[in-house]
Amino acid sequence: MFNLLKSKLSSFVNSLSKKVEEKPEEPAPKQAEEKPKSAVAEKKPEKPAEKPREEKKLKLSLETRVKSILSSEVEIREKDVSNLLEDLELSLLEADVAYDAAKSITSNMRSKLVGMHVNKNEVGRTANDVVKATLLGVMEKEKPDVVELARKKTSNGEAFVILFLGPNGSGKTTTIAKMANLFKKNNLSCVIAAADTWRAASQEQAEVWAGRLGVKVVGGQYGSDPTSIAWNALAHAKAKGINVVLIDTAGRQETSKNLMKELEKMNRVVKPDLKIYIGEALTGNAIVEQVKEFDKLIGVDGVILTKADVDEKGGASLSVFHSTGKPILYLGVGQELDDLQEFSSEFVVENLLA
């Protein structure tokens, strides 16, 4: 997972470490020339009593150690990082990081690194720490605890409603089944609203997953109004005391005006508690514009990235955080019901720098 991004960051750290460690020592500043001695004879001061030999040796030993420490300390300068950061920026773009995110990351790293005084033997560790702090800063967004939010609302006897959005083929139906599994494990009952009335066999797919979970599916005729299906699922949840309503919707591009209006209507009628965008990690920084357009129309509370386990590049997560301001809630890491991993920026960054 994210192997390309991992290798590019590792290459930057190693290159900077090597470059700084091999820097030639700068010559010490010239001492001021001694003034010529005065022709007038000066009275020589009395010779002070000679210090004990042991004290002299101790002083010389301390001076030697201090000089040794100081001589191994270097300052990281602009010329040390300039070319390397330019290369890193191109590498980030290659790893599908959005342009503005790549620019911001390298700029932030430059401001942290330039002017730092570090021991030559510590350059690699220091560079690694700077990369880690920078990436964590990018992904520092408040993330809602979905299960806790659901538990809180259902404690008042109301159903918690999640509307799932996204393009065709992003894995919405499978991800919704994984979410139902997650809620069931936390003792919260679910109903799935199969409101994708456009894709052939979409409702049958939902039924298969629901059958494995023992969860009810509320569907309707293909081509019928998806909002009415979502509304019926809410009514079913209220009548049966079900905790969570998970609404599947037809995949649509942000440019499909009619389908986007349909989604706008559903949002207005159903009034979901959370709107979660589901997109493939493999789409890279293209996901940024998609999330922005959906957010502009009806609002997006968080993102689930699917197929993260086969994403070699890794740029999508950085792009989503930096360029949309939306938190990533979960990563889809396989095809089984348990293959849903709660997103942790610490975990992701540690793995990138491992």
Residues 6+ apart with CB under 8 A from 154: 160, 188, 243, 244
- The model's pLDDT over 84-95, given as tens digits with 9 standing for 90+, comes to 999 999 999 999
- In what helix (H) or strand (E) does residue 64 lie, and over which residues does it extend? helix 53-71
SS3 (DSSP) at 179:
helix
Torsion of CA 47, 50, 55, 58, to 10 degrees: 60
- 144 phi, psi to nearest 5 deg: -70, 140
- The model's pLDDT over 278-324, given as tens digits with 9 standing for 90+, comes to 999 998 888 999 999 999 999 999 999 999 999 999 899 999 999 99
- The model's pLDDT over 157-184, given as tens digits with 9 standing for 90+, comes to 999 999 999 988 889 999 999 999 999 9
pLDDT at 32 over 70: no
Say what percent of the chain tops pLDDT 70.
Answer: 85
Looking only at the bridges linking them, the beta strands covering 73-75 and 117-119 are antiparallel
Cα 338 from chain centre: 22
> pTM of the entire structure?
0.84
DSSP codes, 125-151: HHHHHHHHHHHHHHT------HHHHHH
Please, what are the domains in the chain? 1-18+72-138 (1.20.120.140), 146-352 (3.40.50.300)
